Amino acid sequence: MRVLVTGAGGFLGGHVIDELLRRGDDVGALVRPSSTARAALEERGVEVVPVDLRRPDEDLGKRIASYEAILHLAAGVGASWRATFDTNVLATENLISALSETGWTGHFVHVSSFAVYGFNQLKPKSVIDEATPLEPEPGRRDDYAWTKLLQERVVRRLEGQAGVEVTIVRPGAIYGRGREFQWRLGRPLGERVVLLLGGGNRMPLNYVGNTASLLVECAHNPAAAGEVFNAVDPHPITQREYLRAWQRAEPIKVVRFPLSVYRAIGRALEMVHRKIGGRTQPPIFLDSYVMEPSLRQFRYDPSRPTTVLGWEPPVSIVEALRRTFEPGSSDADGWHGRVPQRVRRRRRRRRPVARPGRARSEYRQRRDDDTPPLPESPPSAAASRARRRGRDVGP
């Protein structure tokens, strides 16, 4: 099978390339022209399609029309909300438009995220599965969750196109060697220091090798057409158990912070924000609506891929932790794509208070006829986010 992988130069993309080659597929990799992964991919016999999906060439559709399946992995978190939007939404919109214009037929497998679910509306210890309602107030969530939800809406345009099958996979927290730190643990305070928020929550982890295996299975298995799958490993472990496995391999220092105190600080700052009329705003990592999805305890049902596809995760949690943390262990024999630094503090630029609401409102107005609406009307979402940044925008 001829399979194209977008985002092939990333952490997950390298493992997906490995799995496709292992199965004997004819593999293409869509990467940005500036990608450092290009030479390594070509050495492995992968056909490289150098394209920046944010600004594609007019002949993009023709260049990828021969592929029978497309695994759409390209996504990310930018330094600003606009960069995140362009990477996740605009790039996907350009890809879908190119496929529609050329009349492409085949199987489109889209990698979404757990972030699209409406966690704030669920009670603690609720079961998260594919039937869990999506986020009803995306304007109140962080930029990644907001853009991934809109990205799914754009991808679903293909569902009405003749000869096209669509599968959506929503991974939990993907981990593996090169991506040891997880934001569901808390915050990084340095390269080897972690601020642990709580400690008893079970995390929806998904080992990168298992994620790659499921995505490739979806591309090959006809039963995956029209389905949505959560990608989360069975027998989820707690934050403390994950950190203990990490500490056995490396001298990671853990600073414990009570979850109740953290929540109280967030609520106090939000109260101050309201009382002074929105002239200041709590940091996003203290925004309860943004952070609660990672802090609240849930249960996770990983059974649907097994029930529908007959697929089982090839790597157990014990073996996955060993491959991730033990010195000298390896995730696979092949090339793994770009390996990020182990733990690096996320830097967030302070943004002008009025721009996000205005720009989002303009974007949605331009595409009202084409983009399926989010659960609330576009002006309400724009106004909600603008108010969070301290200023109202229009009605």
Q: What is the pLDDT at residue 341? A: 40
Residues 173 and 227 in one domain: yes
Q: What is the pLDDT at residue 268? A: 86
Residues 393 and 316 in one domain: no
Residues 337 and 357 in one domain: no
Q: Is residue 391 part of a domain?
A: yes
Q: What is the pLDDT at residue 147? A: 96
Domain containing 315 equals: 2-178+204-235+297-341
Residues 389 and 323 in one domain: no
Residues 25 and 151 in one domain: yes
Residues 168 and 311 in one domain: yes
Q: Is residue 101 part of a domain?
A: yes
Residues 22 and 152 in one domain: yes
Residues 373 and 337 in one domain: no
Q: Is residue 275 part of a domain?
A: no
Q: Is residue 94 part of a domain?
A: yes
Q: What is the pLDDT at residue 274? A: 78
Residues 395 and 311 in one domain: no
Task: Give the sheet arrangement for strand 164-171, strand by strand.
Answer: 47-50, 26-31, 2-6, 69-72, 106-111, 164-171, 228-231
Q: What is the pLDDT at residue 353? A: 36
Residues 366 and 318 in one domain: no
Q: Is residue 95 part of a domain?
A: yes
Q: Which residues of the chain have pLDDT under 50?
A: 332-395
Number of domains forming the structure of the chain: 2
How far apart are alpha carbons 364 and 372 in whole angstroms? Answer: 10
Q: What is the pLDDT at residue 276? A: 78
| Long-range residue pairs from 184-187, CB within 8 A, at least 24 positions apart, any chain | 184/239, 184/294, 185/239, 185/242, 185/243, 186/239, 186/257, 187/285, 187/345
Residues 231 and 363 in one domain: no
Q: Is residue 274 part of a domain?
A: no
Q: What is the pLDDT at residue 269? A: 83
Q: Is residue 291 part of a domain?
A: no
Residue type, 224: A
CATH number at residue 230: 3.40.50.720
207 contacts: CB under 8 Å, gap ≥ 6: 174, 175, 176, 233, 313, 315, 317, 320, 323, 324
Q: What is the pLDDT at residue 354? A: 36
Q: Is residue 390 part of a domain?
A: yes
User: What is the value of pTM for the model shown?
Assistant: 0.83
Q: What is the pLDDT at residue 278? A: 63
